[in-house]
Amino acid sequence: MAWAEQSQLDAISAESYVLMDADSGKVLKSKNMHKKLPPASMTKLMTMLLALEAIEHNQVGKSDKVIASPYAASMEGTRIYLEPGEVMNMDDMLIAMSLVSANDASVAVAEKLGGSEAAFVELMNKKAAAIGMKDSRFRNSHGLPAPGHVSSAYDMAILARYTLDNTPVLRYSSLKEHSLRQGEFPIHNSNKLLWRYEGADGLKNGYTSEAKNCLTATAKRGNLRLIVVVMGCPLKGGQTNDVINLLDYGFDNYSTQKLLSSHNVCATTRVRGGIDKEVKVLVRDDVNAIYQCNQGASFTRRQNVAGSVKAPVQRGQKLGEMEILNNGILLKKVDLVAANDVPRITWGERIMRIPGIVMIITAILIVTYIIYRRQKRATAYQPKLTIGRKE
């Protein structure tokens, strides 16, 4: 078994690769994972991330029109042959980027979102730094060769994991085919893994003579989702074979265990100045943990939750963190969040909560009403004094 596994890994031709658990970010296997190499069209995964986040934040809509500039239409390499001034909606542009790695669509989207490709590239590098991509520097939105345009297998895995967690990227990367221009321009996904591997549903392949064959891929079986990045594969199709070998290794040797169900209550936190005195603290999603099959698993949890928090509290607000350990080694961290909103209490509501205050106020109102009614009856029975002229 060990010999077969090693033979499987020895067959990998990639200059650099990473096999990562998508849930925890744990690197399961790697080679030269921080080596800076040209990422080719895997660059478009960052372009798509920014576009999908812009859609999520209502900065642009999927049906918004994107106009191809002369510069966008001039792009070489893989493209959908946009004409200067041609209009296509944002969703179709993203599909074209994902399926056929369209360089012209990438530039058109970059110009739509950034005003210019240069301004958009600044956003790409800012986002890369924000999510921990320390080996990367982008020079364009598409991935054609440019001096200093580099990334690493580890960085691309980080980008894939972040994009999977925060956007509906699989809606695009899992498509095998689509038709543009009112059905007159059919396109097919150039990621052959979708046809060859069970559970594969993305993400982005790439090729230039400088970068050679590259692929950032993901596949899911059961609760286990794996991310694989291979860079610098010398032979055509080698990137697909390398990814299959790494995915097979991952699914053969690792499994997951469900530790907690979504919305499982883990603690309560006192709320200062809130309409409620405390709020439940829970996990937002199912908590799964990966383990190596031949080593077994001994999972433990430890959590750190705020003892109190000041109102107002918003549903989903982070109030603590849970650490998942396997055999005493930290595997991952999970956010613990508020189960519901807790508005700030008003002064009127605060006064009404003082012990006995409601009874006292009620008694005062009753007494006041009784006195008022008695005074009103006494006034009604008083004789009226009439003053008139004497006859």
Closest CA to 301 of 356, 243, 257: 257
**In which band, very low, low, confident or very high, does the pLDDT at 16 lie, cut at 50, 70 and 90?**
very high
- pLDDT at position 330: 93
> Is residue 106 over pLDDT 70?
yes
- Strands (E) in 15-113, as ranges, are 16-21, 27-31, 65-67, 87-89
Catalytic residue among 24, 69, 98, 101: 101
Does the structure show a pLDDT above 70 at 222?
Answer: yes
Neighbours of 291 (CB within 10 A): 17
For the chain, the average pLDDT equals 92
Is-catalytic flag, 98? Answer: no
Lowest mean pLDDT among 225-234, 239-248, 343-352: 343-352
pLDDT of residue 56: 96
Q: Beta strands of the chain (E only): which ranges? A: 16-21, 27-31, 65-67, 87-89, 177-180, 185-188, 200-208, 212-221, 224-233, 254-260, 265-272, 278-283, 287-292, 299-305, 308-310, 318-326, 329-338
How far is residue 370's CA from residue 377's CA, in Å, rounded to a whole number? 11
**DSSP summary character for residue 360:** H
Average pLDDT of 89-103?
Answer: 98
Flag whether pLDDT at 357 surpasses 70. Answer: no
How confident is the model at residue 208, as a pLDDT?
97
pLDDT of residue 95: 98
What pTM value is reported for the model?
0.85
- Exposure of 376 in the CB half-sphere (CA atoms within 13 A): 6
The pLDDT assigned to 5 comes to: 64
C-alpha separations of 196 from 4, 240, 350 in Å? 21, 9, 65
Helices (H), 115-237: 117-130, 153-166, 170-173, 193-196
Mean pLDDT (whole number) for 181-185: 95
Active-site residue identified among 44, 112, 204, 332:
44
- Locate 36 and state its tokens: 């800076």
Nearest 5°: phi and psi at 264? -70, 125
* Spacing of C-alpha 230 from chain mean position: 23
Among the options 16, 24, 41, 173, which is catalytic?
A: 41
pLDDT of residue 137: 98
**Percentage helix, strand, coil for the chain under 3-state DSSP, each rounded to 5:** 35, 30, 35
Which of 260-269, 284-293, 363-372 comes out lowest in average pLDDT? 363-372
329 vs 102, higher pLDDT: 102
- Say how far apart CA 112 and CA 98 lie, in whole Å: 17
Segment 364-391 mean pLDDT? 70
Q: What is the pLDDT of residue 361?
A: 72
pLDDT band for position 20 (cuts 50, 70, 90): very high
**277 belongs to the catalytic site:** no
Give alpha helix (H) positions in 101-233: 103-114, 117-130, 153-166, 170-173, 193-196
- Determine the Cα–Cα distance for residues 28 and 20; give it in Å rounded to an integer: 6
Residue 391, pLDDT score: 43
Q: Identify the bridge partners of residue 150 per DSSP, sorted by sequence position.
A: 137
- Residue 310 annotated as catalytic: no
109-146, pLDDT tens digit by residue? 999 999 999 999 999 999 999 999 999 999 999 999 99
Asked if the bond preceding 203 is cis, omega within 30° of 0, the reply is: yes
Q: Which residue's structure tokens are 């642009």?
A: 60
pLDDT at 10: 83
